[in-house]
Structure 1
Amino acid sequence: MRHVLVTGAGGGIGAAIADRFAADGCRLTLSDYRADELASVATGLREKHGVDVSELPGDLAEAAFAEELVPRAGKLDVLVNAAGIYPATPLLDMTAATWDRVQDVNVRAAMLTTVAFGRQGGPGAVVNISSGAATRARPGAAHYATSKAALEMLTKACAVELGGAGIRVNAVSPGFVTVDSPANPVTEEYAAAVSVNPLGRRGLPADIAEAAYWLAGDHANWITGAVLRVDGGSTAGAPSLPLHWDGQTAVQQGGHSHG
């Protein structure tokens, strides 16, 4: 029976990941700064799957809490760093405190938990939850996009240094996922703008949970340092754009435009 620690498990993607591992009979340790929501998720998993679930609520922005989370959980087989915050802050309104909190939760905490996981020794698997924002900036998300770009490089750096111990470190990069989260609310206008993709639907937390579960399992045992884009194809391109020239004319005249 694998022991799995999931951060950010109080709702949304983190809770869905916890549910997927619970369905496999795993022993779970869950963490989130929202203690009431975390307790509700834990109770639901116990009732639904009959698994052993422990709760370690706390704020991952506090270095001491992040450093001690893995030792408090006990010997782990899988660590999923799903905790993340994405406040909307226009660049000219950015403060050091706002910037630092996003980096502390989204990047530093994942580093500290992964270091602690590595000190336990392998074999094992770490899965970080990144975002399409790692490669594509947007207004109000300079801190968030930067944190996710850093998380993806952290994933690779940890894979390089921990591979010798049999610890694989990978990341899942979701596209827009429908999550009803009071901690990270989005408007419908924003959701409609960012959720266009070739497969024609918004992501579900379960889509990301399946990818995280797979990366942590034996079927991915020769994969490390990878970032799996689970985004309905939005990274591949934008299907809603019109043709930018008359196709018939282009066939007749030939040639290329390099604009």
Structure 2
Amino acid sequence: MSCRHVLITGAAGGIGLACAAAFAAEGDAITGVDARQSELTSAMADLAHRYGVATESIAADLASPDCGEIISRAAAAQGPVDVLVNAAGIYPANPLQQMNAEDWDRVQHVNVRAPVLLTVALAAQDHRPSAVVNISSGAATRARPGAAHYCTSKAALEMATKACAVELAQAGVRVNAVAPGFIEVDSPVNPVTDDYAAAVSVNPLGRTGQPYEIAAAALWLASDAASFTTGAILRVDGGATAGTTSLPTHYPTTTPLQRAQ
């Protein structure tokens, strides 16, 4: 059993809560951060009851430019933060021709700026070894209609992961990311239609992913087993990045010369 202090954003549900449960099962103290105060308080109380660990709840809007202060608030309550999991993220559907600056900026602030500000604040605590795990997305490498702001934010988050890994290594901070494929999450904040879920869940393994599978990857990246890993993007997507099984097999029946003619 470990006894780290783990701060997780987006901890009221979905991947964030799955990560909180995975670390709590290891004996870690958990500080959950989310904008949904009542759901967060209930989730943290349940973890404390199930795993017998200390938990704290911090209700916060990660779009705030002062969100880095969350690290010091968490440290004041449970000691220095050893692991930061940036799982909070928003992905509203806004076609580009209907998007305004406020829509665009809020996604960038929550999905990119907040993880960077929190990571920098973590590194400023002291020079104790610590780990950061950002939750990215397959959207970082593939655009889709209505999600230009979200896809851009995740591509930026992956580069920010690498930049933070380079600049903060001497401070003893490892920074990595997990990029999930489509994960079954019943989210009132980021709902998706059944048609969308069916379309994006096509991958070589032939199924959607579960939050606990992303949590397992985050748990490994934050562990001593990954002590030589930083700046990495771990794609946990059922093989979707590797390729597709949805296309028919192609057997060429002509030579290259014949095709050219």
Give the counterpart letter for 1:189 in structure 2.
D
Question: 188, 196, 199: which is aligned to 1:182?
Answer: 188
Instruction: State the Cα distance separating 1:122 from its structure 2 match.
Output: 2.8
2:176 is equivalent to residue 170 of structure 1: yes
4+ residue segments displaced more than 6 Å: none
Provide the residue aligned with 2:40 in structure 1. 38
List per-residue Cα deviations over 1:167-203 (Å, max 9, x = no partner): 1000000000000000000000000000000011100
Alignment partners' CA distance in 1, 2:144 and 2:37 = 31
Provide the residue aligned with 2:158 in structure 1. 152
List per-residue Cα deviations over 1:48-82 (Å, max 9, x = no partner): 10110000011001112x12100111111100000
Alignment partners' CA distance in 2, 1:40 and 1:237 = 40
Provide the residue aligned with 2:71 in structure 1. 70
Q: Which range moved further: 39-48 or 129-138?
A: 39-48
For the residue of structure 1 that corresponds to 2:49, the secondary structure is helix
List per-residue Cα deviations over 1:95-129 (Å, max 9, x = no partner): 00000000010001011100100101331100000
Provide the residue aligned with 2:114 in structure 1. 109
Task: Name the TM-score, length of structure 2 as normaliser.
Answer: 0.94
Instruction: State the Cα distance separating 1:254 from its structure 2 match.
Output: 4.8
Alignment partners' CA distance in 1, 2:184 and 2:147 = 18
2:20 is equivalent to residue 15 of structure 1: no
Q: What pairs with 1:208-227 in structure 2 (closer than 5 Å)? A: 208-227=214-233
Give the counterpart letter for 2:90 in structure 1.
I
Instruction: State the Cα distance separating 1:240 from its structure 2 match.
Output: 1.4
Q: Which runs of 5+ in 1 are unaligned?
A: none
Report how many residues are paired. Answer: 252
2:128 is equivalent to residue 122 of structure 1: yes
Provide the residue aligned with 2:144 in structure 1. 138
Instruction: State the Cα distance separating 1:43 from its structure 2 match.
Output: 1.3
Q: Which runs of 5+ in 2 are unaligned?
A: none
List per-residue Cα deviations over 1:179-237 (Å, max 9, x = no partner): 00000000000000000000111000001000000000011100000000000000011
CA RMSD in angstroms comes to 1.3
Identity level (%): 62
Alignment partners' CA distance in 1, 2:18 and 2:5 = 16
